[in-house]
Chains A and B, each alone.
Chain A
Amino acid sequence: MQLTLGKFFVKDIQFADQSSYKDGVVYVSKKELAAYLMEDDTIKAVDFDIARPGESVRIVPVKDIIQPRYKVEGPGQVFPGFVGDVETVGEGVTHVLEDCCVATSGHIVAFQEGIIDMSGLGAQYNSFSKMCILVPLIEPVEGLGKHNHEATVRVAGLKTAAYLASLTKGQTPDESETFTVEPTTELGKFHPDLPKIVYVYMIQTQGLMHDSYVYGLNGKGMVSTIVSPLEILDGAVVSGNCAAPGHKNATIHHQCNPVILDMLRRHGKDLCFAGVILTNESAMLTDKKRGAYYASNLAKLLGADGAVITEEGGGNPETDLMLNCKHLENKGIKTVLITDEYAGRDGASQGLADVTAEADCVVTNGNGNQFVRLPKMDEVIGDLETVKVITGGSSTAIDEKDGSVSVEIAAIMGSCCELGYEKMTTKLR
């Protein structure tokens, strides 16, 4: 199986009468895009804004972030089950707008939407501040209810992302990267001397808007399963998750899953990437146990020597993380865990809600409780008042005198992403 990502490096996004893509600039017709999104009758109104790297702009509340991708060859379409049909994806050619993303905003859905700062201290805490961002501001129809509101914004974000990338149809990418995945049964023959490593990919699916979707289906209630890493790159997993912004996996984190990309690039060199095991994080203990037992069973069936496990969210998902680690290690499969911590503002507290002795090899992506004062921005896209209620914020977050915003970095989108998307860790001092 082969998938080529045809990459277009975006230098700017501009509004125009007609949508198009030319020489690194995405031209967006508000009217055309709004008409496409308004096909969904749960949207009352939609407007758009643009944020660019280095600008004095703060976007809040951000619900999801999506990278524009569109399939120009091969079966299916990106975000199967939402934009594309449910046909299996992961083969052919997919166009990608690099250095560019869609960040959905508008009326806050829950407490769990986050901040993107395009400059200043906050810009250091995620990669999105370095991208050109199109922000759809979505106003739902009255009386929609939170769950339908979430679904409406989720789908609008995915549609916007596919729409933007589709503008490159017929054009030649600036750069292409091709990934090849061999059939599982051939791996031992092709790479007899390399360690076989599987990726145990935990997705948060706890209901109550802490959900992730696989081919359009809520992963809640799913038995752990095997997918091709290339399917993930085509958006087979998308986020509907309203968990803490600092460590929920937004859709862009799934599309550009750094564990998958790193292992695909190292496959055949210093490791043999033996597959992705998708497993969920339920709120119920029996489900957690079933998911972890079955993920380790699949790893064993695949003949894995090692496993990378990533977490999403925190608190009770730590039980899923530790159970996965324990069962894999008990089956002789060595593990590394990728997580983050909530160690208190001073960093002196225990940072995880559950532990197991087998977890001797752990990567942390930072302490989400770190308290930062973000300078005032000239422009706010969205509604600054929401920092008073989002996770990591507080009723006293806004300094009325100087306009600065003081929050824990848990409030910043993807700051401690547990897929290891950013370049941060903690050190003991």
Chain B
Amino acid sequence: MAKRVVHYINQFYAGIGGEEKADQTPILKKGEVVGPGQALQALWKDDVEIIATIVCGDSYFADNQDAALATILGWMEELKPDALVAGPAFNAGRYGLACGTLCDAVAAKLQIPVVTAMYKENPGTEMFHKTVYILETGISATSMRQTAPKMAAFVKKLLAGEPIGFPEEEGYFPQGYRVNVFTEKNGAERGVDLLLKKLKGEPFETELPMPVFDRVAPAPAIADIQHAKIALVTSGGIVPTGNPDRIESANASKFGKYDISGVEDLTGEQFITVHGGYDPVYALEDPDRVLPLDAVRELEKEGKIGSLFNYFYATVGNTTAVSRAEKYGEAIAQDMLKNGVQGAILTST
């Protein structure tokens, strides 16, 4: 039995009109194959069937996104297709955004494969390449002849549940996941090869483009430190003995928040480290070496800070992915704000 696909296009490719018709409201054309859908249908023959074409004006979609989505998602739920194909949008910006937005929403709601195609500089590519398979097209519709077979084959593969290859094999924009693959040469040989190319001035491709870091601007200094409430935070894995939250010794999946009201000094009996990345001997002897509670209590007594917040926050920074650390940082900061904390001392290991 043929797999059932819905195709989404804009008013231009539906033959309704150009910019003057861009405010066209959504139309459902059941059983109709329109515009670029004809090229796809011809390639799919009997394996895949376009059961409906949905058309919407680009301006209407951009200006009334919620309404347009509600209408189209309603139709999709009734049609229950096996996949959604949108575009290709080439370099048409609003069309690309509509294709991306719709694909993203349909994938989330109906849990079916979605595919679109557009030019690399289409804003839709930047916005949706992480969540939607977007195949690369040329800048204009003249590249339809190359795009249609790629799109048809890719959709068929997805519908058959076949494994999807790498971007360079399949033609989609990378979604940002680095996966391990085995190679013919070992890393050292690849390294020497790369360096020789670089020295000869030949083109070479790095295996790991440098990531762009979030540079966090330091907050302004605390004006009145003598009255400020200060909290302690550590990625050094200091937790109450027994590790009540079972924080992992590496790539921690959580952070903990622990009561230290009335505690003057951390001892190895009450607190331990669960960090798997450093020699724990000295931290177990005296956890203050990682989480300097004793020193901060002294500052508190001397009136050099207002007070120490009654809880500290801890996680393990050992091979922990930045994306996770970022999440914990945000959650900890929110919790501090809620509790009127004005400053924090962060210790790492």
**Judging by beta carbons under 8 Å apart, are A425 and B191 in contact?**
no
Distance between A248 CB and nearest chain B CB, rounded to angstroms: 11
> What are the residues of chain B within 8 A of A360 when measuring CB–CB?
206, 210
Segment of A87-95, A152-160, A415-423 in the binding face: A415-423
Determine whether the beta carbon of A391 is less than 8 Å from that of B178.
Answer: no
Contact (Cβ within 8 A) A343 B178: yes
| A20 on interface, CB distance cutoff 8 Å | no
Asked whether B176 lies within 8 Å of A348 as measured between CB atoms, the reply is yes
The yes or no answer to B338 lying at the interface (CB within 8 A) is no
Q: Is A349 an interface residue (CB 8 A)?
A: yes
CB < 8 Å neighbour of A429 from B179, B187, B192, B320: B179
Given contacts A349-B322, A350-B322, whether A355 and B210 have CB atoms under 8 Å apart is yes
Given contacts A244-B318, A429-B166, contact A346 B199 (CB under 8 A): no
B187 and A338 contacting across the interface, CB-CB below 8 Å: yes
CB-CB nearest 4 A-B residue pairs: A420-B187, A420-B188, A344-B321, A208-B279
Cβ–Cβ contact B319 & A244, under 8 A: yes
Nearest A residue to B248, CB-CB: A394
Q: Tell me the nearest residue of chain B to A207, going by C-beta.
A: B279
Q: How far is the CA of A257 from the CA of B189 in the complex (A)?
A: 11
Q: Is the CB of B208 within 8 A of A426?
A: yes
Is A66's CB within 8 Å of the partner chain B?
A: no
Contact assessment for A336 and B277 in the assembled complex, using a CB-CB cutoff below 8 Å: no
Contact A348 B192 (CB under 8 A): no
* Best-surrounded residue of A257, A305, A346 (most CB of chain B within 10 A): A346
- For residue A115, CB closer than 8 A to chain B, the reply is no
B35 beta carbon closer than 8 Å to chain A = no
Nearest opposing residue in chain B for A309, CB measure: B191
Residue from A257, A262, A271, A307 having most chain B Cβ neighbours under 10 A: A262
A410 in complex: contacting residue of B187, B282, B319, CB < 8 Å = B319
Q: Which of A112, A361, A417, A426 has the most C-beta atoms of chain B within 10 angstroms of its own C-beta? A: A361
Q: Is the CB of B246 within 8 A of A395?
A: yes
Please name all residues of chain A whose beta carbon is closer than 8 Å to the beta carbon of B277 when the two chains form the complex. 111-112, 243-244, 315, 391
* Residues of chain B within 8 A of A209, CB atoms compared: 279
Contact with B along A304-347 (1 / 0, CB 8 A): 01111010001100000000000000000011111101111111
Tell me whether B198 and A112 are in contact (CB under 8 A).
no
Interface stretch (choices A70-78, A366-374, A376-384): A366-374
B269 vs chain A, min Cβ distance (A): 19
Indicate if the CB atoms of B179 and A347 lie closer than 8 Å. yes
Within 8 A of A (CB), among B274-299: 275-282
Tell me whether A341 and B208 are in contact (CB under 8 A).
yes
In the bound complex, CA of A360 to CA of B249 (Å): 33
Once the chains bind, are A428 and B319 in contact (CB under 8 Å)?
no
B180, A366: Cβ atoms closer than 8 Å: yes
B278–A210 CB distance below 8 A: yes
CB distance from A354 to the nearest CB of B (A): 9
Contact residue among A244, A306, A428 (Cβ-Cβ distance under 8 Å from B198): A306
Number of interface residues of B (CB under 8 A): 56
Q: Which residues of A contact B224 (CB under 8 A)?
A: none
Q: Which residues of chain A are within 8 angstroms of B278 by Cβ–Cβ distance?
A: 208, 210
Point out the residues of chain A lying under 8 angstroms from B174, CB to CB: 428-429
Distance A365 CA – B323 CA, assembled complex (angstroms):
21
Q: Is A359 an interface residue (CB 8 A)?
A: yes
With contacts A336-B191, A338-B188 known, is A410 near B321, CB below 8 A? no
Chain A residues near B213: list those with CB within 8 A.
350, 355
Q: Output the nearest chain A residue to B165 by Cβ-Cβ distance.
A: A429
Q: Write out the residue numbers on chain B whose beta carbons fall within 8 Å of the beta carbon of A189.
A: none
Interface size on A, residues (CB 8 A): 88
Chain A residues with Cβ below 8 Å from B71 are none
Specify which chain B residues have a CB less than 8 angstroms from the CB of A195 in the assembled complex. 196, 199-200
C-beta contact mask, B144-155 vs A, less than 8 Å → 1, else 0? 000000000000
- Contact of A22 with B by CB under 8 A: no
Task: Find out whether the CB atom of B208 lies under 8 angstroms from the CB atom of A339.
Answer: yes
Within 8 A of B (CB), among A178-231: 195, 197, 207-210
Q: A314-B319, A367-B178 are in contact. List 20 more A-B contacts (CB 8 A).
A: A124-B182, A197-B199, A207-B279, A244-B319, A337-B191, A342-B320, A348-B176, A352-B211, A362-B206, A367-B179, A369-B251, A370-B180, A391-B277, A420-B186, A420-B187, A423-B184, A424-B181, A425-B180, A428-B178, A429-B179
- Which of A110, A342, A347 meets B319, CB within 8 Å? A342
Cα distance A315–B251 in the bound complex, in angstroms: 12
* Chain B residue at minimal CB-CB distance from A395: B246
Pair A342/B179 contact, Cβ less than 8 Å: no
CB within 8 A of B187: which of A357, A361, A395, A425? Answer: A425
Chain B 138-179 interface residues, beta-carbon cutoff 8 Å to A: 166-167, 174-179
Beta-carbon nearest neighbor of A352 in chain B = B211
Closest A residue to B130 using CB positions: A348
| Nearest chain B residue, comparing its CB with the CB of A372 | B180
From A352, A391, A421, A424, B180 is in contact (CB under 8 Å) with A424
Q: B189 contacts A262, CB within 8 Å?
A: yes
Residue of A nearest to B282 (CB): A208
Q: List 6 A-B contacts (CB under 8 A).
A: A310-B191, A343-B178, A369-B319, A393-B250, A420-B191, A427-B179
| Chain B contacts for A344, CB-based, 8 A | 251, 321-324
Contact with A along B241-256 (1 / 0, CB 8 A): 0000010111100000
B185 at the interface (CB under 8 A from A): yes
CB neighbours (8 Å) of B180 from chain A are 366-367, 370, 409, 424-426
Chain B residues lying within 8 Å of A146, measured Cβ to Cβ, are 279, 281
Is the CB of A363 closer than 8 A to any CB of chain B?
yes
Q: Would B192 and A259 count as touching, CB distance under 8 A? A: yes
Cβ of B42 within 8 Å of any chain A Cβ, yes or no, is: no
Return chain B residues, CB-CB under 8 Å to A197.
Answer: 192, 195, 199
The yes or no answer to A398 lying at the interface (CB within 8 A) is: no
Q: Which residues of chain B are near A370, meaning CB under 8 Å?
A: 179-180
> B332 in the interface, Cβ–Cβ < 8 Å?
no
Instruction: Say whether A112 contacts B276, CB under 8 Å.
Output: yes
Residues of B within 8 A of A419 (CB): 187-188
With an 8 A cutoff between CB atoms, is A356 at the interface? Answer: yes
Our pick among B167, B184, B192, B206 for the contact of A308 (Cβ within 8 Å) is B192
Complex Cα spacing A24 to B180, Å: 35
> CA separation between A352 and B207, bound complex, in Å?
13
A424 to chain B, nearest CB (A): 6
Which residue of chain A lies nearest to B210 when distances are taken between CB atoms in the complex? A355
In the complex, are the beta carbons of B195 and A306 less than 8 A apart?
A: yes
Query: Given the complex of chains A and B, what is the CA–CA distance between A327 and B208 in angstroms?
Result: 20
CB-CB under 8 A from A335, the residues of chain B are 195
Report if B183 contacts A (CB, 8 A): yes
B residues 95-145 touching A (CB-CB < 8 Å) = none
A294 to B348, CA, bound (A): 27
Given A334-B199, A423-B182 in contact, is the A210-B167 Cβ separation under 8 Å? no
Expressed in whole angstroms, the Cα–Cα distance for A337 and B194 within the complex equals: 10
| A305 CB to nearest chain B CB (Å) | 6
Chain B residues with CB under 8 Å of A124's CB are: 182
Can you name the residue of chain B whose Cβ is closest to the Cβ of A356? Answer: B210
